[in-house]
Chains A and B, each alone.
Chain A
């Protein structure tokens, strides 16, 4: 099983729709989880951290399921500007390293 696994997509979603992606991780000792957004040929930017209790920021909701070892990202009322690659990021247990998933590409269609 890969350390961090995501569906690469692309997800083609009409503007205004709701879209969700999951990300699974293999290390049960992982402690920190994040969603980053990366636009084409740009650096990743932190979208949100994922807490055990869930985390909501405007149209974005992140959830963590430790039992099944996955995190999710839900985007409501999607906008054209949401088109990007969404990277799932998991810290590698007790050490400082974080592992990136390969990303899920999202295209919001007008």
Chain B
């Protein structure tokens, strides 16, 4: 199956710093990538949909100025958590959909963010 990588796999940072998470599709081109957040024992919650070359579409309640998304190429999307606070601590997962093939989403391994 298609492979999606994320980097870093985990990060611990101080409150007020910014953290960038990368999501890459390794063996396919992804016009659309999705960013999710999952709190413990909760379901995945879609944060935003990222289309290559255009602005991301954010879900209601997700601050676009706090969660900056860039999808500069067909294989890379980045999520930057700006001025992170402890309540931003969560498991962030990206997924990518293969170009014009299927609506199946392939997930990255996730990034566990802990803000102290």
Contact = CB atoms under 8 A, between A and B. Distances in A.
A26 interface: no
Contacts, number: 42
B108 A46 contact: no
Interface stretch (A13-21, A56-64, A65-73, A95-103): A95-103
A2 B4 CA distance: 30
A103 B105 CA distance: 17
Contacts of A97: 34, 46, 49
A97 B106 CA distance: 14
A43 B108 contact: yes
Given A96-B49, A100-B43, A102-B43, A42 B109 contact: yes
Contacts of B106: 46
B93 interface: yes
Contact of B103 (A87, A96, A100): A96
B107 A103 contact: no
Interface-centre pick from A32, A43, A99, A101 (highest chain B CB count, 10 A): A43
Nearest to A98: B105
A100 to B, nearest CB: 5
A25 interface: no
A46 B104 contact: yes
B42 interface: yes
B32 A96 contact: yes
Contact of B110 (A32, A34, A43): A43
A13 B90 CA distance: 30
Interface in B81-97: 91, 93, 97
Contacts of B112: 41
Interface string A22-50: 00000000001010000001111110010
A46 B3 CA distance: 12
Interface of B: 1, 32, 34, 42-46, 49, 91, 93, 97, 103-110, 112
10 contacts: A32-B103, A34-B104, A42-B109, A44-B107, A46-B104, A87-B44, A99-B46, A100-B43, A101-B43, A103-B43
Interface of A: 32, 34, 41-46, 49, 87, 91, 96-103
